[in-house]
Structure 1
Amino acid sequence: MSKITDFFPQKCRNPTSEFSDTTAIPLPDRAENASQPAAGIQEPPQKRAKKYLSSVERFPWLERVEESSTRHVTAYRCRTCVRMGLQGKWGTIPMLAKGSSPGAALGGYLENAPHNANYASKFTAVEMLEICGQVMRDRITSSIQTTGADGVCLIADESTVKGVTGSYLCVMVRHLDPNTAEPKESLIDLKRVKKTDGQSVFNAISSSLDRNAIDISWVTALSFDGGANFSGVNRGVRSYFPKSVLYCHCRAHALALCIKSAASQLCPRINACLDFCASLYDHFGRSNAKSVALEDAQCEASSGAGDSSECELEGDEFEPRAVALKLLRPVGTRWLSQGIALSRVLRIYTPLASALNRLAEERDFTSGGFLTFMLKRNHDRVLGAS
């Protein structure tokens, strides 16, 4: 399957290359024989060129400025730079006049930039992000070093990403703003970690602090969630700091953990609906046949209604396909998961009831019990109010 990045020009630093035009993006030649595509290309050049254009136009920060039917070339320009008066490409005189005024470093970079580095170039976008990130990091580091000796609060959390090996660690620092003397939270690092035990996470946090020139002895308080690898007093990150360092449990996690117990006392129906969502997730997640029945019910509902409100669209504009939605488990430690799980049940309410009814007709008594619960008027009102 082709990716969007496959349709971008290859990175080339030679000014005399075929991508040296600073005002245009080369597209496949129309003279190529569409009936005999090149090796590794499974579609005609005309369709590939059309898909390339539609992929580039999806970027909201790009603007089409001209189109030539004879050269088969379309030029793009950055909307933000147009508003700033920088209407040229890298290395042009208008941009040098604007970019060289703040400092010689930016002007020198623009002057020595490659000729094929236009705004639609993927490696130029990466370089721009790296420069902006370095500028922001320098500003944050300078602000923290001004008042960091008075004490900072370390905030950190890690999360897994679907389809990615390992986890991502987010490191933040709460410090005093040197201008207003008010508490301020600053992101200092977001990195990928392969291990999430206390020792590995502490080493990753220490390297992030050293990278931003923040002395670890400045840390006077910690703020984590209830995970054992962070707040554990024996092998967690908390155990590697002196006992004099204060620890504050994350307020958002604490409130999320209180919702379940508070609902059981104040509104048993809401508590029953949360348990119902978790039971539905286990009911369909542990059986492949039941999962297929739910997917078929969603596809039938979408095709009968003429839309895809019960499904998500994937693919491209040439071959879109509907993907059935899956049930979600409400997790107490994730403060948004409970509301998202209830919303997912409401979104696929009709095909979910149809799938349960079909399974109940096949003598699945558990599905029949779930269907009876869903059809009760009082529980239906609670789900709608949630």
Structure 2
Amino acid sequence: MKLFRFSWKPENTVRQLEKCTWQTEGSVAQQLFNASELERQENRQKFSDLLDGAYFLFKHELPHTTLYEPLLEVLTKIDHSKKLSTFFDKCKKNGSYDSTATVTELLEATSEVIDKQILTKIRESRIISIMADEGTDINHHQNLSICIRYCNQDTGEPTESFISLLKIKNKDAQTIFDTIVKELKSKNIDMTKVRFTGFDGASVFSGQFNGVSAKFRQMYSNSILFIHCRAHVLQLCLLSACEDIIEVQESLLTLKSLFYFINRSSIRLTRFNDIQMLLKHPQLKLIQPGDTRWLSYFRSVNAVIRCYEPLMITLEHIVHERGEESPSASGLLSILKDQSTTFILHSLEPILEALSILSKSIQTKNGDFNQLEKSMLGTLLRLEELKETLTLSSTNLNRDRITRATSRTNEISLEEIFNDKIVKFIDEVISNIKARFESNALKFLNCFRIFDVSEATNEQEYGIQEINTIRQQYPDDFNDDLVAEWKVFRKYLFVQKQQQKSAILTQRQQCINLVKNGMTRDMYPQLSLAVEIFLCAPISTATVERDFSTMNRILTDLRNRLTTEHLEQLMRVSIEGPSDLDDDLKDLIINCWKYFQGQWFVKVPMSQWCVHGFSMRTNNNAEAFHSRFNRRVQLTHPNMWSFIKFLQGDENRFHHLRIQFYAGLGARSKQAKTIAIQRHIDNLGQRYYDGVISAMEYLDGLSYTVAKRKK
């Protein structure tokens, strides 16, 4: 990696030496070092500006290899101080700061710094939860995204962080499990800290006996709980209720047909937009509803209702043209004119809106199950309320919005539809939520409601049963001290309740105070660990889904040759990187020692790059072979037969050389100048190891020996 290639010119060094105070005591070598250090700091300051430009491309998911050089040109033009242009002029011969290699190296360094900071916080935490999902990219490669939920020990807040994006060959449970474990172990993450796994409802993840979650329990601990993504569960509740009410299901299928009919033809889509403009209607787009797309049904119903009139006019125009698509348009127009369909769509809008609000609260990155329970209770009350309020609002619909032409004249009782279809649909949704949201994990997490000040009492047995349940679930983590700590902490909660201060802490705030580093955590170590388990429980896999959305924004049709490693690095910077780089982060990225330490001391053993004591210290022989081969080929892309012919020629050449060596041909003798330089170097090294000269004198001697003299 050639991250820093600052050029050295004699005139630059002289200029820096003139700035030095010659009255300062010290050797010439020290003064040269001071001048070099001053120049290095100036170069680093200018290079940090280039890093800001590169980071802008990484963070905003822009093609860095193609836009980096044009961005530097723009920065140079708008820099009226001319410092950047001077910097580029000075580094023009020996530096390549505008190359694709440089910006790629900056990406690798930036991703490594961010990754190290995240992993440091994860290793400090006592409890972690694993979330993962698999998805297909634009190149049809199967990818596995891994996230970890943990508590920041400084703030106590739960956090979900992106860890890795890995390419997998198979989608079976064993392959996914092995991939997750291998990746987390390679990052030195302690797998014994895992207490929860969060996945979607796919059997490969959630299978009770052979799923990924089951394999975690079998390998590490039976105490590990699997939590089904609550946003996915809510979508299943909605789909199950739709299947039970045929009329509601048909109305939602109509939305899909409308979307495909309008959006799959540029002509029809343009006509739809033009009609909206003529009616001075807001430019709205139809939303594609999908069974696996959270919130899509509400947005789709809302869009159709808001652009109902332009949509009807568009369909009428297509019907009157009597073209190939006229029958399809006529069928959709007939459905939309049906008063029952329109009534059902208007009635579904507030119902789906309430569910979408609940889904959004579930998808928050640092939410917990206490917040989920409160949101779910509010949604259920809202749905019960809609059974009464929808009757009045639905019968007073704006007729101009419902229908333009003559509506179907069949006698329909809206009240009958509401009671038989809408109320039944609401009841089905409520019953599904109550049934599907109840699970063993949720029952266990409800034990932590005892930390809510509003429910605290002075009874001796308050919370004892819940504490024992927590202890039984994780027998390896807790002992009798947990109950003793709770008895003391219970009195503290009750005193807070009696004071009735406006600043009483909520259950979440109480848990956070117990987790973060401080006196409270030191006083209640086991309670602190227990509430950290509660805060680390993932309520959804929305973070993993957002990771795939980021992947799809980066890996596009025009940018489809990114390697998995670089794609992961770009995702990490986009997801986890700060909005701007501070000076400390810049120093971590720019420092040469960071890359050298991380790459050449950790990943690559010293024996592979240190040539001390070896007679063959260069790869000049290999470079000579490549140069000779390129001169002979003289083509950038030779055909296969020419390539084979050149290989045969080189084989014959080496065959003749081997015969000559066997016949007694010796290696080419070294020049006298080379022998003399090597003797001087050996003598200097021997004198240094014998303690005759110091390290500075050794370096001075080497510089005089190997420096090229001007002719």
**TM-score with structure 1 setting the length:** 0.54
> 1:1-386 counterparts in 2 under 5 A?
64-65=74-75, 75=77, 88=84, 115-118=95-98, 122-147=100-125, 150-161=126-137, 163-243=138-218, 244=222, 245-259=224-238, 272=248, 275-282=250-257, 285=260, 290=261, 295-303=266-274, 305=277, 328-331=288-291, 333-342=292-301, 345=304, 349=308, 352-354=311-313, 356-357=315-316, 358-359=318-319, 362-363=326-327, 366-373=331-338, 378-379=343-344, 381-382=346-347
SS in 2 for 1:241: helix
Indicate how the Cα distance of structure 1 residues 90 and 186 shifts in structure 2: closer, same or farther if over 3 A, else same.
farther
Indicate how the Cα distance of structure 1 residues 182 and 297 shifts in structure 2: closer, same or farther if over 3 A, else same.
closer
Give distance in 2, aligned partners of 1:220 and 1:123.
Answer: 42
Give distance in 1, aligned partners of 2:295 and 2:130.
Answer: 23
Q: Please provide the CA RMSD for this pair.
A: 5.0
SS in 2 for 1:179: coil
The letter for the 1-side match of 2:120 is: S
Structure 2 residues not aligned, in runs of 5+: 8-46, 51-65, 354-711
Give distance in 1, aligned partners of 2:213 and 2:315.
Answer: 47
Q: How far apart are 1:166 and its partner, in Å?
A: 2.7
SS in 1 for 2:139: coil
- 1:243-272 deviation digits (Å, cap 9, x = unpaired): 51211122222233334567899xx99x93
- 1:196-232 deviation digits (Å, cap 9, x = unpaired): 3322322331232123111333322211111112111
Indicate how the Cα distance of structure 1 residues 241 and 230 shifts in structure 2: closer, same or farther if over 3 A, else same.
same
Report if aligned partners of 1:301, 1:310 keep a CA contact under 8 Å in 2: no
The letter for the 1-side match of 2:293 is: R
Q: How far apart are 1:137 and its partner, in Å?
A: 1.2
Give distance in 2, aligned partners of 1:240 and 1:230.
Answer: 9
Report if aligned partners of 1:298, 1:310 keep a CA contact under 8 Å in 2: no
Report if aligned partners of 2:173, 2:212 keep a CA contact under 8 Å in 1: yes
Indicate how the Cα distance of structure 1 residues 116 and 261 shifts in structure 2: closer, same or farther if over 3 A, else same.
same
SS in 2 for 1:127: helix
The letter for the 2-side match of 1:117 is: Y
The letter for the 2-side match of 1:116 is: S
Q: Which residue of 2 aligns with 1:44?
A: none
The letter for the 1-side match of 2:271 is: E
Give distance in 2, aligned partners of 1:160 and 1:339.
Answer: 26
SS in 1 for 2:153: coil
Greater strand fraction, Structure 1 or Structure 2 = 1
Q: Which residue of 2 aligns with 1:28?
A: none
Give distance in 2, aligned partners of 1:341 and 1:114.
Answer: 58
The letter for the 1-side match of 2:158 is: P
Indicate how the Cα distance of structure 1 residues 151 and 165 shifts in structure 2: closer, same or farther if over 3 A, else same.
same
- 1:97-121 deviation digits (Å, cap 9, x = unpaired): xxxxxxxxxxxxxx9x972324xx6
Report if aligned partners of 1:172, 1:185 keep a CA contact under 8 Å in 2: yes
Indicate how the Cα distance of structure 1 residues 146 and 238 shifts in structure 2: closer, same or farther if over 3 A, else same.
same
Indicate how the Cα distance of structure 1 residues 116 and 334 shifts in structure 2: closer, same or farther if over 3 A, else same.
same
The percentage of counterpart residues that share the same residue type is 25
SS in 2 for 1:140: helix
- 1:301-330 deviation digits (Å, cap 9, x = unpaired): 33563899769xxxxxxxxxxxxx776233
Report if aligned partners of 1:328, 1:344 keep a CA contact under 8 Å in 2: no
Q: How far apart are 1:352 and its partner, in Å?
A: 4.1
Indicate how the Cα distance of structure 1 residues 117 and 375 shifts in structure 2: closer, same or farther if over 3 A, else same.
farther
The letter for the 1-side match of 2:95 is: H
SS in 1 for 2:159: strand
Greater helix fraction, Structure 1 or Structure 2 = 2
Report if aligned partners of 2:312, 2:333 keep a CA contact under 8 Å in 1: no
Indicate how the Cα distance of structure 1 residues 284 and 376 shifts in structure 2: closer, same or farther if over 3 A, else same.
closer
* Alignment: residue pair count: 278
Report if aligned partners of 2:302, 2:349 keep a CA contact under 8 Å in 1: no
Q: Which residue of 1 aligns with 2:577?
A: none
SS in 1 for 2:226: strand
Q: How far apart are 1:172 and its partner, in Å?
A: 1.4
Structure 1 residues not aligned, in runs of 5+: 1-12, 16-21, 25-54, 67-74, 93-110, 312-324
Indicate how the Cα distance of structure 1 residues 122 and 383 shifts in structure 2: closer, same or farther if over 3 A, else same.
farther
Q: How far apart are 1:366 and its partner, in Å?
A: 3.5
Give distance in 2, aligned partners of 1:372 and 1:294.
Answer: 23
Where do 4+ consecutive residues of structure 1 move more than 6 Å?
89-92, 262-265, 306-309
Indicate how the Cα distance of structure 1 residues 374 and 172 shifts in structure 2: closer, same or farther if over 3 A, else same.
farther
Report if aligned partners of 1:198, 1:237 keep a CA contact under 8 Å in 2: yes
Give distance in 1, aligned partners of 2:289 and 2:188.
Answer: 41
Indicate how the Cα distance of structure 1 residues 380 and 241 shifts in structure 2: closer, same or farther if over 3 A, else same.
closer
Report if aligned partners of 2:174, 2:212 keep a CA contact under 8 Å in 1: yes
Give distance in 2, aligned partners of 1:253 and 1:194.
Answer: 26
Give distance in 2, aligned partners of 1:115 and 1:346.
Answer: 60
Indicate how the Cα distance of structure 1 residues 350 and 213 shifts in structure 2: closer, same or farther if over 3 A, else same.
farther
Give distance in 2, aligned partners of 1:242 and 1:293.
Answer: 47
Report if aligned partners of 2:251, 2:344 keep a CA contact under 8 Å in 1: no
SS in 2 for 1:367: helix
Give distance in 1, aligned partners of 2:94 and 2:172.
Answer: 44
